[in-house]
Amino acid sequence: MPEAAHQIEVGHFFFIFIVILLAAKLAGEAFERIGQPAVLGELVAGVLVGQSVLGLVPVDPAHPYGAMVHVLAEIGVAILLFEIGLETDLREMFRVGPASLTVALVGVVLPFLFGYLFWHWYEGGVSLTAIFVGATLTATSVGITARVLTDLGKINTSEARIIIGAAVLDDILGLLILAVVEGLANTGSVSLFGVVKLFVLAVGFLAVAMAIGLTTAPLLFELVNRMRVRGVLVIFSLVFALTLAFLADRVGLAPIVGAFAGGLILSRTNQFDTIVEQIKPVADVFTPIFFVSVGAAVNVRILDPRVPANHEILIVGGALFVIAVLGKVAAGYSVFWQPLNKIAIGAGMIPRGEVGLIFAQIGLLGGILTQDVFSAILIMVMGTTLITPPVLKILFQRTETTGAAEREPAPVEQAPMRPEIRDLE
Amino acid sequence: MPEAAHQIEVGHFFFIFIVILLAAKLAGEAFERIGQPAVLGELVAGVLVGQSVLGLVPVDPAHPYGAMVHVLAEIGVAILLFEIGLETDLREMFRVGPASLTVALVGVVLPFLFGYLFWHWYEGGVSLTAIFVGATLTATSVGITARVLTDLGKINTSEARIIIGAAVLDDILGLLILAVVEGLANTGSVSLFGVVKLFVLAVGFLAVAMAIGLTTAPLLFELVNRMRVRGVLVIFSLVFALTLAFLADRVGLAPIVGAFAGGLILSRTNQFDTIVEQIKPVADVFTPIFFVSVGAAVNVRILDPRVPANHEILIVGGALFVIAVLGKVAAGYSVFWQPLNKIAIGAGMIPRGEVGLIFAQIGLLGGILTQDVFSAILIMVMGTTLITPPVLKILFQRTETTGAAEREPAPVEQAPMRPEIRDLE
């Protein structure tokens, strides 16, 4: 049989897919039973089956199977944000807009400043490295928070809306920071015109997509509703979400921002209920791939304190982790005039995820960050990712959230004829 | 950013996925409207977006994106056969067992004999090539037939059961033929012991899997039903299907045979209705990838009659196509004692698909088939694939099928709260 260098063996990919789904649901269930969020179980399952422990699930995009897992994970998190967009009231999003903007801005400025000053003190002088370390601390990875809040039935609180709005704005800010750090890494200078152009493109894309989408989607889905072949509604919803994700990617935004906008738009169609019901099993299949692959990317070896070379990395990583947490918690308190659970808002912004890693990778390849600094940043990213689910669960359950506009429980949480028992305690 | 040789760009894969889903559903709808089977539309859409026309959807497994499409297509056809297994009554399958076995055996022997004799006459002598040409004519690719019969609401007829049973048996026979042709290509000889071992392994796997599955699956799914986290039922059903598909692949059978067995087993669980309902949107998303990728692999260039080099290929390919059709139609008539639509049974066995291509590839790489003979076989495979949907539609609608045990319309065809209108005319 012809064997190309990167020939994929279908059976082996089936095996990886089985491991991901099985590990995610078994660990999710175990964590749920001990009172922890299911998504933390999925992340931990990912660590176990991932590169540094059992090695069953590759996530390196340069690895043929790793590339597949990576792509399916991105589809998974896009579908998750699409689902959350479907559940989100657009007017409520606009209502909390000023609060989201405040949280986003403060949550970018403070971690950057803290990180910069820390490195300035640690290295004893001004450097590009300090700017890069600061930049890696600014990003927010909203997938984990969104999943926890969905599982807790809190996705329709004002707090959740502020977090998601701030995360979308963070992504736009992250795009600009990326342009700045890439300019610094490659040429040592920054084109103000380029940065402004990016900003206009990103904001313009979202505005135009929402405007066109909100006017044409109801008509489009009336047509889809008249189609006769099987599965058109779920397929066209998915195509709609993926198309906006693809376009967002093309203007430099994260695909999830586009997918979220797609959900917001389709929540205004007449077919809304059926879309929510039918996209749910598809989300169930795809989203665990994202969380397991996030866990699988964790390298537990750099956490081993028995290796002397890890000591300084662990200490610096720990310091960055503290800065990362404090910076975002402070951002939550920046909306001091709101009668809301402010610490929960800040906690929801903690996970750094892949965006911080992208900045760090550019710094590493540009020779601005050493391998050790990169590893310390990795510790910060891993720590913020793993700590968020349990912290959010405590914060959202301890004090009742005060969102005045809290809607009735989301339809996605109570689809008919599902035998699962929701454990909201 | 680090760019490995095979780095995958997530956005580009989103684009390919969008093209596949959109092309499948638009063309499917168009064909449905002109009275043709939707799956023929999906196949034709695949030809259009595939390698030789628009080039939007790669299917070569050696191509990084092509490998992904290939793997997702295999998952798609596995889910399709899993769904069909869910809809199939195991006792009815056993009842038609003798008829299936007859159709399978005659449908392997006659096309092989016709193909061998044709080549013997054409080349003027006995040769390994004649054996290979005969072998490529024996396989049955059941995905297309199963989809057409599902769409027509005929999947629970005796004819459909005989076809699917015969296709499963064909896969076991194909496994043995593969061992023989591989032995001939590599060493020029065949180990009878090896062939018998393969046969025992394949039949033993199916028997053991069914026996263990039927006794343990109801208990397993009672446990799953008690789990609290979201999506466990659809995930565990999928994991069950994929695990059997993976194991089938490991004993040398097609993954779809395992997935079909998984469906047969789960049709006996208490959670059957919910599984059918929830697997449907997942199938809707994955199965079009299979049919579009089958179409995308079609190379229309070898069909161009303006190229003189194509003339002999077209004539030989046309002859093989006629043999392929007649051989399987005759197999349908082999169950002459049955009061059934025998020509429809034969027509359902016509598509050759990937199994025939695997034989042909072994012959090509072993130097036994020339590139021209390979292309002629490709024409036979493409022709049998594209002709089956419209022929089946005519045959199953013209004469009413006479399956005495025809069940009420399958639940998968009438899931509640779906706005689509089924066009059964």
Q: In the prediction, which pLDDT does B402 show?
A: 47
Q: In the prediction, which pLDDT does B7 show?
A: 67
For A368, the 3-state DSSP assignment is coil
Q: Which of A230, A242, A417 sits opposite B18 (nearest CB)?
A: A242
How large is the average pLDDT for residues A157-170?
Answer: 89
- Asked whether the beta carbons of residue A17 and residue B285 sit closer than 8 angstroms, the reply is no
How large is the average pLDDT for residues A103-130?
Answer: 88
How large is the average pLDDT for residues B348-372?
Answer: 82
CB-based burial, A233-244: b 16+ in 10 Å, e otherwise:
bbbbbbbbbbbb
- B262, exposed or middle or buried, with CB in 10 Å at 0-12, 13-18, 19+? buried
* Minimal C-alpha gap between B389 and chain A (Å): 15
| Helix (H) / strand (E) containing A55 | none
- Asked whether the beta carbons of residue B229 and residue A38 sit closer than 8 angstroms, the reply is yes
* Cα–Cα dist B57/A147, whole Å: 32
Closest-CA residue of B relative to A240 is B18
Band (A359; pLDDT cuts 50, 70, 90): confident
CB-based burial, A249-287: b 16+ in 10 Å, e otherwise:
bebbbbbbbbbbbbbbbbbbbebeebbbbbbbbbbbbbb
Closest-CA residue of B relative to A228 is B421
Chain A CB contacts of B417 under 8 Å are 274, 277, 416
Q: Which of A197-201, A317-321, A336-340, B379-383 has the highest average model confidence (pLDDT)?
A: A317-321
Q: In the prediction, which pLDDT does A321 show?
A: 94
Handedness of CA A179, A184, A185, A188 (dihedral sign): positive
Q: Please report, rounded to a whole number, the percentage of residues in chain B having pLDDT higher than 70.
A: 91
Half-sphere exposure of B91 (CA within 13 A, CB side): 4
Q: Which of A13, A29, A75 sits opposite B228 (nearest CB)?
A: A29
Q: In the prediction, which pLDDT does B415 show?
A: 39
Q: Please report, rounded to a whole number, the percentage of residues in chain A having pLDDT higher than 90.
A: 41
Closest-CA residue of B relative to A69 is B68
Q: In the prediction, which pLDDT does A197 show?
A: 86
Q: How far is CA A80 from CA A215, A242, A291, in A?
A: 24, 12, 11
Residue A138 has pLDDT above 70, yes or no: yes
Chain A CB contacts of B75 under 8 Å are 14, 17
How large is the average pLDDT for residues A140-166?
Answer: 88
Residue B425 has pLDDT above 50, yes or no: no
* Cα–Cα dist B161/B407, whole Å: 12
Q: Which of B24, B61, B234 sits opposite A7 (nearest CB)?
A: B61
Residue showing tokens 């263990």: B212
More confident residue, B417 or A179: A179
Region at A207 (left for phi over 0; alpha for psi -120 to 50; beta for the rest):
alpha
Band (A399; pLDDT cuts 50, 70, 90): low
Residue A413 has pLDDT above 60, yes or no: no
Q: SS3 sequence, chain B?
A: CCCCCCCCCHHHHHHHHHHHHHHHHHHHHHHHHCCCCHHHHHHHHHHHHCCCCCCCCCCCCCCHHHHHHHHHHHHHHHHHHHHHHHCCCHHHHHHCHHHHHHHHHHHHHHHHHHHHHHHHHHHCCCCHHHHHHHHHCCCCCHHHHHHHHHHCCCCCCHHHHHHHHHHHHHHHHHHHHHHHHHHHHHCCCCCHHHHHHHHHHHHHHHHHHHHHHHHHHHHHHHHHHCCCCCCHHHHHHHHHHHHHHHHHHHCCCCHHHHHHHHHHHHCCCCCHHHHHHHHHHHHHHHHHHHHHHHHHCCCHHHHCCCCCCHHHHHHHHHHHHHHHHHHHHHHHHCCCCCCCCHHHHHHHCCCCHHHHHHHHHHHHHCCCCCHHHHHHHHHHHHHHHHHHHHHHHHHHHHCCCCCCCCCCCCHHHCCCCCCCCCCCC
Pick from A388, A361, A374: nearest CA to A140: A388
Spatial neighbors of B280 by CB under 8 A, at least 6 apart, are A231, A281, B83, B412, B415
Contact assessment for residue A403 and residue A341, using Cβ atoms and an 8 Å cutoff: no
How large is the average pLDDT for residues A298-320?
Answer: 87
Band (A420; pLDDT cuts 50, 70, 90): very low
Residue B248 has pLDDT above 50, yes or no: yes
* Cα–Cα dist A423/B227, whole Å: 10
Residue B45 has pLDDT above 90, yes or no: yes
How large is the average pLDDT for residues A182-189?
Answer: 77
- Asked whether the beta carbons of residue A228 and residue B423 sit closer than 8 angstroms, the reply is yes
How large is the average pLDDT for residues B405-415?
Answer: 40
Q: In the prediction, which pLDDT does A424 show?
A: 35
Q: In the prediction, which pLDDT does A6 show?
A: 52
Q: In the prediction, which pLDDT does B399 show?
A: 58
Residue showing tokens 């890890």: A310
Residue B397 has pLDDT above 90, yes or no: no
pLDDT per position as a tens digit, B187-218: 777 788 888 888 888 889 989 999 999 999 99
Pick from B371, B326, B168: nearest CA to B253: B168
Least reliable range by pLDDT among A252-261, A305-314, B178-187 = B178-187
Q: Which of A21, A229, A421 sits opposite B228 (nearest CB)?
A: A421
Residue B413 has pLDDT above 60, yes or no: no
Q: In the prediction, which pLDDT does A400 show?
A: 54
Q: In the prediction, which pLDDT does B295 show?
A: 86
Q: Which of A17-26, A157-166, A168-177 has the highest average model confidence (pLDDT)?
A: A17-26
Q: Which of A62, A249, A418 sits opposite B4 (nearest CB)?
A: A62
* Minimal C-alpha gap between B80 and chain A (Å): 13
How large is the average pLDDT for residues A207-222?
Answer: 93
Residue B302 has pLDDT above 90, yes or no: no
Contact assessment for residue B200 and residue B179, using Cβ atoms and an 8 Å cutoff: no
pLDDT per position as a tens digit, A55-109: 999 988 788 899 999 999 999 989 988 998 888 888 888 888 899 999 999 999 9
Do the interacting molecules here have an ipTM over 0.85?
Answer: no
| Helix (H) / strand (E) containing A36 | none
- Asked whether the beta carbons of residue B231 and residue A365 sit closer than 8 angstroms, the reply is no
Interface contacts (A, B; CB < 8 Å): 225
How large is the average pLDDT for residues B328-349?
Answer: 90
- Asked whether the beta carbons of residue A25 and residue B74 sit closer than 8 angstroms, the reply is no
pLDDT per position as a tens digit, B83-139: 888 888 888 888 888 999 999 999 999 999 999 999 989 887 667 888 889 988 998
Contact assessment for residue A255 and residue A249, using Cβ atoms and an 8 Å cutoff: yes
Residue B237 has pLDDT above 90, yes or no: yes
Half-sphere exposure of A264 (CA within 13 A, CB side): 26
Half-sphere exposure of B164 (CA within 13 A, CB side): 35
Residue A62 DSSP one-character state: T
Chain B CB contacts of A423 under 8 Å are 228
Q: What angle do CA A66, A68, A71 make, to 5 degrees?
A: 110
How large is the average pLDDT for residues A170-186?
Answer: 80
Q: How far is CA A350 from CA A116, A142, A157, A358, B106, in A?
A: 18, 9, 18, 17, 66
Residue B412 has pLDDT above 50, yes or no: no
* Minimal C-alpha gap between A95 and chain B (Å): 31
How large is the average pLDDT for residues A396-414?
Answer: 49
For chain B, the average pLDDT equals 85
How large is the average pLDDT for residues A356-376?
Answer: 82
Chain B CB contacts of A24 under 8 Å are 235
